[in-house]
Amino acid sequence: MKRIRTQVYALTAAVAVTLTGAAVATAHTIERADSHTTDTALADAFGKVTRSTDWQLKSKLKLDFPTYHTEGIAFTPEHIFLSAVQITEPTVKYPTPQGGYDRTPGKGIGHLFVMDLQGHLQKDITLGEGDMYHPGGIDFDGTNVWVPVAQYRPNSSAIIYRVDAQSLDVHKQFEVKDHFGGIVMDKQTGHLVGNTWGSRRFAEWNLKGTQLKTWDNPSFFIDYQDCQYVPNSKMLCSGVTNLPQAPSAGGATATYELGGVAMIDLDSEQVTREIPFQKWSTGGHVATRNPFKMTADGNTLTMRVAPDNGEEGNGTEILTYQATVN
């Protein structure tokens, strides 16, 4: 993807088929990643989305391999990347915090699945070290796919990886203290921006891993699960929060999933627009539960999500929604 609209054209063709080590990135990498950052079509179109925008389901692409618990998605001209965590030992909450943690580390395997545009698995890349096995939301900067892999508990630690989207070479960029579950590259600055457990806090680093600043999320609407960079210096995130229901709606412990999408301005550190999104998957989850990406072609927005785990509903399906805004 050299610009957002190019990605739309490549992915539209794929949908038509389904319906019928360095520690620091090289200067060349940054130059390529920083090109074509002035296309504001997505930011402009999303700025017109309202709660009543009519989103229509256009396709379902079922994945035919074990996907476990899906986390983030990214699209390039040649591939679809999907991050997922395979839990082999669940975490267990402590009665009281121990060593600064609220739960055991658990065990698992972090996956970055590489598919062709028709959803056929081409490679399964294993990421993580020790207790850091949980990949989060991912993003493609035009050259690399960025993947945070964290411990499956808050206030812990994470590794930031970059994966060359063409060669699929994996580079461990740096480690950070705290659980970071999403990441984008700000192409205006060449810096990385990540969000913590529950998206309560953001941090910005240079490519050596030096933290440049941090700020609290001013919104408590949803917890961001997967994000993407949007020119210029914006971050578009989707997510979910589980809210209690009245006992008459399903019992004393019943909850429902509130989904939504938010635009964050990385300069002002403010949420500039956020909307609820209440479309549902085959497995009964809100569509923005985990993997998410959005593109724009004029006033037409295309959203691609993959909310269901491999063992839920009809398995993991990539759902494509479209809406036209005025």
Write the secondary structure of 244-275 as one string of H (helix), E (strand) and C (coil).
ECCHHHCCCCCEEEEEEEEEEECCCCEEEEEE
For residues 230 and 304, give the distance between their C-alpha atoms in angstroms, rounded to a whole number: 16
For residues 210 and 314, give the distance between their C-alpha atoms in angstroms, rounded to a whole number: 43
Radius of gyration of the chain (CA): 19
* Domain containing residue 72: CATH number: 2.115.10
Q: What is the pTM of this model?
A: 0.88
pLDDT of residue 39: 84
Judged by phi (left if over 0) then psi (alpha if -120 to 50, else beta), residue 142 lies in: left
For residues 26 and 164, give the distance between their C-alpha atoms in angstroms, rounded to a whole number: 12
The residue written with tokens 């705290």 in the block is 178
What H or E segment, with its residue span, contains residue 85? strand 80-89
Count of structural domains within the chain: 1
pLDDT tens for the chain, residues 1 to 326: 333 333 443 444 444 334 333 333 433 333 333 334 458 999 999 999 999 999 999 999 999 999 999 999 999 999 999 999 999 999 999 999 999 999 999 999 999 999 999 999 999 999 999 999 999 999 999 999 999 999 999 999 999 999 999 999 999 999 999 999 999 999 999 999 999 999 999 999 999 999 999 999 999 999 999 999 999 999 999 999 999 988 888 777 888 899 999 999 999 999 999 999 999 999 999 999 999 999 999 999 999 999 999 999 999 999 999 999 98
pLDDT of residue 299: 95
Instruction: Please provide residue 16's backbone torsions phi and psi, each rounded to the nearest 5 degrees.
Output: -60, -40
Structural domain containing residue 138: 4-324
Task: Specify burial of residue 243 (Cβ count, 10 A radius: 0-12, 13-18, 19+).
Answer: exposed
For residues 156 and 215, give the distance between their C-alpha atoms in angstroms, rounded to a whole number: 18
The residue written with tokens 């659980």 in the block is 179
pLDDT of residue 38: 57
The residue written with tokens 């812990």 in the block is 156
Burial readout 129-161 (b: 16 or more C-beta within 10 A, e: otherwise): eebbbbbbbbbbbbbbbbbbbbbbbbebbbbbb
Is 82 within 8 Å of 306 (Cβ atoms)? yes
Number of neighbours of residue 210 by Cβ within 10 angstroms: 10
The DSSP line for 207-251 is TT--EEEEEE-S--S-EEEEEEEETTTEEEEEEEEEEE--GGGT-
pLDDT of residue 248: 82
For residues 240 and 258, give the distance between their C-alpha atoms in angstroms, rounded to a whole number: 5
